[in-house]
Amino acid sequence: MRNMSSIMKLANQQGIIIPAFNVPYLPMIEPVIRAIVDMDSFCLIESARPEWIKFEAKGPRFVQEEFAKWAKPEYVRLHLDHVPVIDEDHETVDYLPIIQEAIDVGFESVMVDGSRLSLADNIEATRKVAELAHKTGVPVEAELGAVLGHEAGPLPPYEELFESGKGFTDVGEAERFVRESGCDWLSVAVGSIHGAISGAAKDQKKVEARINLDHLQKLHQATGIPLVLHGGSGVQKEYVLAATKKGISKINIGTEIRHAYEQALKDTGSVPKAQDATYDRTCWVIRDYFGINGKRALLVD
């Protein structure tokens, strides 16, 4: 069976997207896996540090223990999402022990987020993680540019952000970053935004974002590695489908299924009903949004 490095490279070559579903609540893991299997697709389940701090996922070991109950590696693998060097509250994070813990308990790929650092410091932090992870064959995702949305304050109007290109990943910096950092995949900023994770805004519907496809293509040509889109929930479908042909191989999906779980739990008070809502929404994302149902064998077998 292929490892995650091989699967991502194959996805990149074939223009097939790998959705990565964030699970801020541990009971979401089972219905997400069930949906992935029933849709005969290949996806990731991922967990990020903000989901342990601001929600109820607790941490890498807890996520892995729940994942292991339902794991089907021919359909789904476990990825460590955002572990920041400087977090959304501008606090310094001791990131290397967190990443080491995730590798030790069985995460098959990891991410370090040094995007709030200078370019040189981001390269250095990512290189440290790459040296650590590559010892056991674990691929590393990094981030360059600013995918906004996790910050505490309100965002500027989306159209203003998109037209100005504020925070977009610089092409020349991306080429240098990949060459010097040792990362295997790169999360780039090309128009998407994160769903809010704090305050009243965390319950609000996300803006329908777009992707600057020309800028994305330049980034892919400059880096030559699989690219990742964070903040994938709510991006207009035609842009997502086009982005898979221009270098995006993994898209993070959080708000879309989190809202389904939270709303059903709020309406019914029932975790099983919230799980059913998560299952239904995950199936919709795979089948109706990405159209990758039935394509698992193209990546894994």
Whether 47 shows a pLDDT value over 60: the answer reads yes
pLDDT for residue 230: 86
pLDDT for residue 199: 42
Among 198, 151, 149, which residue's Cα sits nearest to residue 51?
198
Q: What confidence tier does 89 reach under pLDDT thresholds 50, 70, 90?
A: confident
Whether 198 shows a pLDDT value over 90: the answer reads no
pLDDT for residue 196: 46
Beta strand extents in the chain (DSSP E only): 18-22, 43-47, 76-80, 109-111, 140-144, 185-188, 227-229, 248-253
SS3 44: strand
**Residues 290/240, Cβ–Cβ less than 8 Å:** yes
Burial class (CB in 10 A: 0-12, 13-18, 19+), 120: exposed
pLDDT for residue 15: 92
pLDDT for residue 282: 98
pLDDT for residue 167: 76
Among 118, 106, 147, 114, which residue's Cα sits nearest to residue 130?
114
54 vs 36: CA distance, rounded Å = 26
pLDDT for residue 64: 97
**Residue 136: CB atoms within 10 Å:** 9
pLDDT for residue 148: 61
Whether 241 shows a pLDDT value over 50: the answer reads yes
pLDDT for residue 236: 83
41 vs 49: CA distance, rounded Å = 26
144 vs 126: CA distance, rounded Å = 11
Q: Residue 243 contacts by C-beta under 8 Å, 6 or more apart in sequence?
A: 190, 211, 213, 216, 229
133 vs 109: CA distance, rounded Å = 8
Render pLDDT for 248-284 as a digit per residue (tens, 0 to 9): 999 999 989 999 999 999 999 999 999 999 999 999 9
Render pLDDT for 140-174 as a digit per residue (tens, 0 to 9): 999 998 766 554 555 566 666 766 566 789 999 99
Render pLDDT for 92-149 as a digit per residue (tens, 0 to 9): 999 999 999 999 999 999 999 999 999 999 999 999 999 999 999 999 999 998 766 5
The CATH number of residue 108's host domain is: 3.20.20.70
Strands 109-111 and 185-188: unpaired
Tell me the CA end-to-end span of the chain in Å, nearest whole number: 7
pLDDT for residue 237: 86
Domain count along the chain: 1
Report the mean per-residue pLDDT for the chain. 90
**Residue 17: CB atoms within 10 Å:** 25
As annotated, the active-site residues are: 81
Among 275, 219, 240, 218, which residue's Cα sits nearest to residue 23?
275
pLDDT for residue 159: 63
**Residues 45/32, Cβ–Cβ less than 8 Å:** yes
**Domain of 70?**
4-300
Render pLDDT for 184-196 as a digit per residue (tens, 0 to 9): 999 999 887 754 4
